[in-house]
Structure 1
Amino acid sequence: MQLGSAIGTACLTFIITNIDDAFVLVTFFAESSTSRNLTPLKITLGQYIGFTVIVVVSLIGFAVAVALPSEPIGFLGLLPILLGVWRFFDLIFPKKDGMEEDESESQRIANAKSVFKVAIITVMNGGDNIGTYIPLFSQAKGAEIAVYIVVYYILLGIWCLISFLIMKEKHILRIAEKYATFIIPFLYLGLGIYVVVKSNCYPWSVEQIDNQFLGGPGKIVMGIVTTFLLSSIMGIMVWFKMRKRNRTPTRNEEVSLSENTLAVAKSEQEGPPDASNTINNVSSIGIGQPEKDYGKAETRSIEAGYREVPV
Structure 2
Amino acid sequence: MQFGPTLGTACSTFAITNIDDLFVLATFFAEAASSPTSSLSPLKITLGQYIGFTAIVAISMLGYGLSFALPSEPIGFLGLLPILLGVWKLLDLLFDGEDEEEEGKMRGLKNVLKVSAITVMNGGDNIGVYVPLFSQAKGAEIAVYVAVYYILLGVWCFAAWLIMGQKHVLKLAERYMAWVIPFLYTGLGVYIIVKSRAFPWAVRKIDGRFLGNPGKVIMGTVTAGTVCTIIGVMLWLKMRKRAQRMRESASVEVEEVRRSRKSR
Asked if these proteins are the same fold (TM beyond 0.5), I'd say: yes
| Structure 1 counterpart of 2:45 | 43
Specify every segment of 5 or more residues in structure 2 that has no aligned partner in the other structure, as ranges. Answer: none
Counterpart check, 1:216 vs 2:213: yes
| Structure-2 change in CA distance of 1:66 and 1:261 (3 Å) | farther
Matches within 5 A, 1:126-165: 126-165=123-162
Deviation sequence 1:144-194 (CA, Å, 0-9, x none): 110110000000010011111111112221221121011101111110010
Residue 236 of structure 2, aligned match among 233, 239, 243: 239
Alignment of 1:1-311 (within 5 A): 1-33=1-33, 34=35, 35-95=37-97, 100-101=101-102, 104-108=105-109, 110-112=111-113, 117-249=114-246, 256=253, 259-260=256-257, 262=259
Shift of 1:213: 0.6
CA distance in structure 2 between the aligned counterparts of 1:169 and 1:211, rounded to whole angstroms: 60
Please give the secondary structure, in 2, of the residue aligned with 1:53. Answer: helix
> Larger C-alpha radius of gyration, 1 or 2?
1
Q: Which residue of 2 aligns with 1:279?
A: none
**Letter matched to residue 94 of structure 2:** I
1:39-79 Cα shifts (integer Å, max 9, x gaps): 11111110000000000001123213420111000000000
More helix by share: 2
> CA separation in 2, counterparts of 1:108 and 1:160?
20
Residue 127 of structure 1: how far off its partner (Å): 0.8
In the alignment, the residues of structure 1 paired with residue 79 and residue 248 of structure 2 have an alpha-carbon distance, to the nearest angstrom, of 39
Whole-Å Cα distance in 2 between the matches of residues 157 and 260 of structure 1? 53
Matched residues in 2 for 1:191 and 1:65: separation?
19
Unmatched 5+ stretches in structure 1: 268-311
**How far 1:109 moved relative to its partner?**
6.5
CA distance in 1, matches of 2:104, 2:58: 28
Measure the CA separation in 2 of the matches of 1:177 and 1:250: 30
| 1:263 CA drift (Å) | 5.9
How far is the alpha carbon of 1:110 from its aligned partner? Answer: 4.3
In 2, the alpha carbon distance for the partners of 1:90 and 1:194 equals: 23
TM-score normalised by the chain length of structure 2: 0.91
Aligned counterparts of 1:161 and 1:258: Cα–Cα separation in 2 = 48
DSSP-derived class of the 1:104 partner: helix
How far residue 259 of structure 1 moved from its aligned partner, in angstroms, is 2.9
Identity of paired residues, percent?
58
Please identify runs of 4+ aligned residues in structure 1 that moved more than 2 A: 99-103, 105-112, 249-264
1:189 partner letter: T
